[in-house]
Amino acid sequence: MTYTTSNPSSEQVKGFQNLDVDQQLALFWFIYTEMGESITPAAPGASTASPTIAEALFNQVKERSHEEQLQLQRDLITHKNTQFAREYGAISATTKLLFWYLLAQGMDHGTVIPVPSDYTLSDAAEALFNQIKRLEFSEQMTLFRDIVSPMGVDPNAVEHDSETGL
Ligand code: 45D
């Protein structure tokens, strides 16, 4: 048996975070399209996600214009201190993952802004994509949780912002 003290996916997490914001969104979308039906949010007992919370957050996005939907997602990645990013930052990692899954489904269903059909991944994003495809399913889950967890703004970790009142 081999043990490593570091998180096996941390290299990939860093690789992901080093991509520019739009490349992160695009790569995450390509990952979703690749995983397709292997994501089963309804697996009985398999989940510590809170569907009601994830849906409430998703519904806030769904109501916005396409431009605003894209901005909200970019804001999560860049940790912009918004009301929405704080609500996101206050939920569990698995619920965050469920929220991203709902977004991706919204893109499938046409309620969320789609990735332009001619949009391409950078070489770095493509290389990371190929690495991720080769990971075991459980490693992929760990990686995705590690990617979505730090997004947004942890409301307990930031000072009061006198400009926005948040
Ligand atoms: O014009 O234990 C660009 C649960 C720029 C259940 C763009 C689970 C150009 C419990 C940025 C490209 C299901 C939660 C536009 C487990 C441009 C549980 C737009 C597993 C318009 C394990 C880009 C859940 C956009 C899993 C809008 C595995 C990109 C969930 C948006 C996985 C990308 C979810 C999005 C994944 C990607 C979600 C929304 C992989 C979402 C990916």
Q: Which residue has its alpha carbon closest to ligand 1 atom 17? A: 115
Its pTM stands at: 0.91
Task: Give the model's pLDDT for residue 162.
Answer: 79
d(CA 128, CA 108): 23
Q: How confident is the model at residue 43 (pLDDT cuts 50, 70, 90)?
A: low
Least confident stretch, 27-41, 63-77, 132-146: 27-41
CATH code, residues 10-148: 1.10.2090.10
| Mean pLDDT (whole number) for 76-95 | 96
Per the prediction, the chain carries an average pLDDT of: 90
Does the CB atom of residue 99 touch ligand 1 within 6 A?
no
Mutate to test the pocket of ligand 1, among 103, 118, 122 (most ligand atoms within 8 A of CB): 103
What is the CA(103)–ligand 1 centre distance, in A? Answer: 6
| Mean pLDDT (whole number) for 3-28 | 84
The closest-lying atom of ligand 1 relative to the alpha carbon of residue 46 is: 2
Q: How confident is the model at residue 5 (pLDDT cuts 50, 70, 90)?
A: very low
Does the CB atom of residue 31 touch ligand 1 within 6 A?
yes
Does the CB atom of residue 100 touch ligand 1 within 6 A?
yes
Per the listing, tokens 């007992």 go with: 45
CA atoms within 13 A on the CB side of 89: 21
pLDDT, one tens digit per residue, over 88-108 is 999 999 999 999 999 999 999
